[in-house]
Amino acid sequence: MLCLGIEGTAHTFGVGIVASNGKILANVSKTYVPAKGGIHPRDAAQFHAANARAVLDQALEKAKIGLGDVDLIAFSVGPGLGPCLRTAATAARAIAAWLRVPIIGVNHCVSHVEIGRLTEKAKDPVTLYVSGGNTQVIAFDAGRYRVFGETLDIPVGNCLDVFAREVGIPHPGGPNVERLAREGKRYIHLPYVVKGMDLSFSGLMTEAVRRHRGGADLRDLCHSLQETAFAALVEVTERAVAHTEKREVMLTGGVAANSRLREMLGLMAKERGARFYVPPMELCGDQGAMIAWTGLLMHKHGIRDTLAQTQVRQRFRTDEVDVVWR
């Protein structure tokens, strides 16, 4: 059975084609990069609409199949930016209706965990999912992916990106902050906020920008910003590991590309005697393969959506999904 998965929660439009044995036949995406400033949902959605056909064709070509070979359509039903979600959903509905194949709406955050479990053979990890749009510590418990900790304000990727933009570091913000941080030597004290299991990064970002205006060395600031934000992430993940007594830790999402974060989380896992996994980078960021694979898992366990049930859910929470496949 072949599933075609469509991802479109934020600035990436992706199409993945996955077989029911877990083989990824194609995984093509295109990412909207604004000329300046942040992502405007409407512009991102227009970008998706304009590129949907090309991405779809490329994916089919890469997988060496025709559209008629597809048995199931999965798409990212939420959470995400409304206009982007609706664009991806429209594409998914159109293809499913045309082919007369089943359609399934997939939770974006859950699919990040599932693709990691597929490729890394992790059985039951505590997952730190960090991106420009999400920051969550997720662990499976009693039929659900429970959120053990999350940001109370902005996601960590957004904290890094906005800081970069405010201080004039060019796009892409995160990787450039990381590069500058390697040259930083002095640690500047910045607000470190962990509230129980939850995190907050907006104060950290504001203070880092303020310090820059006050004349602090940019390399030191990047170093300190990363160290502070990542230490908080690792601390909360560690608390979840201690709490759940799980023996595996996984890192995913766009910020998983940061080698310092990998190093820190890996050290924590080692100190606690847990295995540490990071999926290949092309599967950490947003893409269609994770949607397709999760759609296959859901379909295999009897989940069916009618077209009417495919309305997008901008605030679809990770812990709302009934995980019948585990």
Partner 1 sequence: MALIKKGAEANLYLEDFSKVLHAAGRGKVIVKHRISKRYRVSELDRRLRESRTALEAKLFADAKLAGVPAPVVYEVDRIGMRIVMEFIDGRLVKQVLNRLRPKARRKLCELIGRQVARLHLGGIIHGDLTTSNMILTREGKVYFVDFGLGEYNPSLEARGVDLHLLKRALQSIHFRITDEAYRAVLAGYKREFGRGAREVIKRVEEIEKRGRYIPKEERAWH
Interface residue list for partner 1 (CB under 8 A)? 41, 79, 134-136, 141-142, 146, 148, 150-155, 187, 189, 192, 194-198, 202, 205-206, 227-228, 231, 234-235, 238-239, 241-243, 263-265, 267-268, 271, 314-315, 317, 319
Task: Identify the helix (H) or strand (E) that includes residue 74.
Answer: strand 72-78
Q: Which is nearer to partner 1, 16 or 79 (CB)?
A: 79
Q: Which is nearer to partner 1, 189 or 213 (CB)?
A: 189
The β-bridge partners of 184 are: none
Q: Identify how many contiguous H helices and E strands the chain contains and give both numbers.
A: 10, 12
Q: What CA–CA distance (Å, rounded) separates 100 from 79?
A: 26
The β-bridge partners of 106 are: 76
Q: Which is nearer to partner 1, 17 or 264 (CB)?
A: 264
90 phi, psi to nearest 5 deg: -60, -45
CB of 13 to partner 1, least distance (A): 19
Q: Which is nearer to partner 1, 6 or 265 (CB)?
A: 265
User: Which position has the token pair 């939770």?
Assistant: 107
Closest C-alpha to 136, from 123, 148, 122, 154: 148
Q: What CA–CA distance (Å, rounded) separates 19 from 112?
A: 17
CB of 90 to partner 1, least distance (A): 21
- CB atoms near residue 54 (< 10 Å): 13
CB of 315 to partner 1, least distance (A): 4
CB of 150 to partner 1, least distance (A): 5
Strands 135-141 and 248-252: unpaired
Q: Which is nearer to partner 1, 120 or 198 (CB)?
A: 198
Instruction: Name the token pair of 114.
Output: 């599932």
Q: Which is nearer to partner 1, 161 or 198 (CB)?
A: 198
CB of 255 to partner 1, least distance (A): 15
Instruction: Name the token pair of 318.
Output: 């990770």
CB of 289 to partner 1, least distance (A): 24
